[in-house]
Structure 1
Amino acid sequence: MRALCLNLVLLYMTNSIIISSVDLGIEELKGYQSLDKVLSAISWNEIAIANWSGDYPYVPQAKFRLAYDQNAIIIQYEIEEEVIKAQYYLHNDHIWEDSCVEFFISFDNKEHYYNFEFNPIGAGLIGYGTNIKAERSRLTEEQINQVEVFTCIERGKLGSKWNLIQYIPFNAFVHSEVTPAFLKENLIFANFYKCGDHLPKPHFLSWNKINHPTPNFHLPEFFGELVFE
């Protein structure tokens, strides 16, 4: 019984990441290669929990790492999957139907949160609000364009691989006052996802476990913790 209780505790543990600050150096040289180099010393985190594996057993390889500087949060994703789909090229379209990576983050103890959803060609959707859909709103195309996106796609005989780096300036969090000091002084909650609703093998993976009977990423009660150094 004691071992069973321990296993249950471990099953629902909340993931936590300690996030380091980085120095990008010369701003004008920002690009995929330069950001990849800056992030090279940061550890990767797996997006590997198939919360609904009975209906969606396919698990592509997905991981991310993140850091921050004086102006932005920086996220890099690395994805290996059988098929890469990037049908949508306009912001705020049905990005989640493509090969898609998603980053949900809350700055007010999970009351409200932002959802950043991007496909391999940098088309994005950003929303904000509570987990009640009627109370959520989307950022405008102009606001989404504040997020700089750098991608790299590889296709080979054994599968496909793509990388995406997002440079998310603090002013992209249009409903929040985000600064390096704020990030350091507060506990931030987030979750990271890989999905592809309309891929040949649909999948719904998360970094932090979600305990819900059907696929749903809009559950902030299952966010993990981000600790900014």
Structure 2
Amino acid sequence: MFKKWSTLFFLCLLIAGCNPKTNHVDKTIIVKEIKFEGNPDIQQVSKLLDTNTESHAVDLVNWERFSYQPKVSFKIAHWNNNIWLKYEVVEDNILAEKTQTNDYVSKDSCVEFFFDPLGDGSYYNFEFNCIGTTHLAYGPQRKKRQFSNPDDIHKQIQVQSSLGSQPFAEKKGGHQWEITIIIPAESLAHNPQIQLKGLSSRANFYKCGDATSEKHYLSWNPVHTKKPDFHRPEFFGKLIFE
């Protein structure tokens, strides 16, 4: 009888969207397919996201020590085996010093997309500072990352920021910026031939700024750790691609 009830409880957790490993309810996004004739440029992608998708807030302050909360949201969709992503940010201070691909852009004003396409615990960490410098690696945990080739990143991933692409020291006084990103499936180099359409996956979305004067760590899906740690796939939410 106990075994029967345990099985029923586990099934109920799955139906409710609860992760039995962490005992919390995961958020879920149905990633809309936006059909378009041809290949839209990044400006068109930005407009298509604005007119066809809803915004999702990156607003969870998981650690009281880092209480500063900029206003952050994102929009996501897919088409032709490409992920379309747009972040919109309002924050007091902005910083953009990193210009080399795969540098520690998380020290700047940074948005991040951690994506586990197969839901097996191995994930890609896409990180972008506010001028579009990109950091991309893959692996099962923080200490076992395989960096993507910078040349491949430049050729495959498109990024456009409203702040341009030139570095700058920290600017105070309140700022608003947005960044649009096109991530083709081919950039998921450890999952060749993957098809996004119909894919059930896991992910989390973040905002951070390690070296800003108001250090902060926000997430879309809650992260239950004692100190800031985004490299925790057990706390990813669900992405289901139409």
User: What's the counterpart of residue 120 of structure 2?
Assistant: 110
Q: CA RMSD in A?
A: 2.0
After TM superposition, the structure 1 stretch with the greater mean CA deviation from structure 2, 18-27 or 41-50, is 18-27
Letter paired with 1:167 = I
Equivalents in 2 of 1:178, 1:99: separation in Å?
A: 33
Equivalents in 2 of 1:171, 1:84: separation in Å?
A: 31
Equivalents in 2 of 1:159, 1:173: separation in Å?
A: 35
1:43 paired with 2:43, answer no
After TM superposition, the structure 1 stretch with the greater mean CA deviation from structure 2, 157-166 or 41-50, is 157-166
SS at match of 2:177: strand
User: What's the counterpart of residue 218 of structure 1?
Assistant: 231
Give matches, 1:52-71, under 5 Å.
52=63, 54-71=64-81
**Correspondent of 2:153 among 144, 147, 169:** 144
Give matches, 1:27-176, under 5 Å.
27=39, 30-32=41-43, 34-40=44-50, 41-52=52-63, 54-133=64-143, 135-145=144-154, 146-153=156-163, 159-176=174-191
Q: For residues 80-111 of structure 1, what are the alpha-carbon distances to aligned partners after superposition, in whole Å with 9 as ceiling and x for unaligned?
A: 00111110111011100000000001123232
Residues 48 and 61, structure 1, Cα contact 8 Å, conserved in 2? yes
1:120: how far off? 1.3
Residues 42 and 180, structure 2, Cα contact 8 Å, conserved in 1? no
Q: Where has structure 1 moved over 4 Å in runs of 4 or more?
A: none
1:12 paired with 2:24, answer yes
Equivalents in 2 of 1:20, 1:212: separation in Å?
A: 31
Letter paired with 2:160 = F
TM-score, normalized by length of structure 2? 0.83
Aligned length: 213
Identity of aligned residues (%): 34
User: What's the counterpart of residue 206 of structure 1?
Assistant: 219
User: What's the counterpart of residue 25 of structure 1?
Assistant: 37
Equivalents in 1 of 2:225, 2:32: separation in Å?
A: 32
Unaligned regions of 5+ residues in structure 2, if any? 1-17, 165-170
TM-score, normalized by length of structure 1? 0.87
Unaligned regions of 5+ residues in structure 1, if any? 1-8
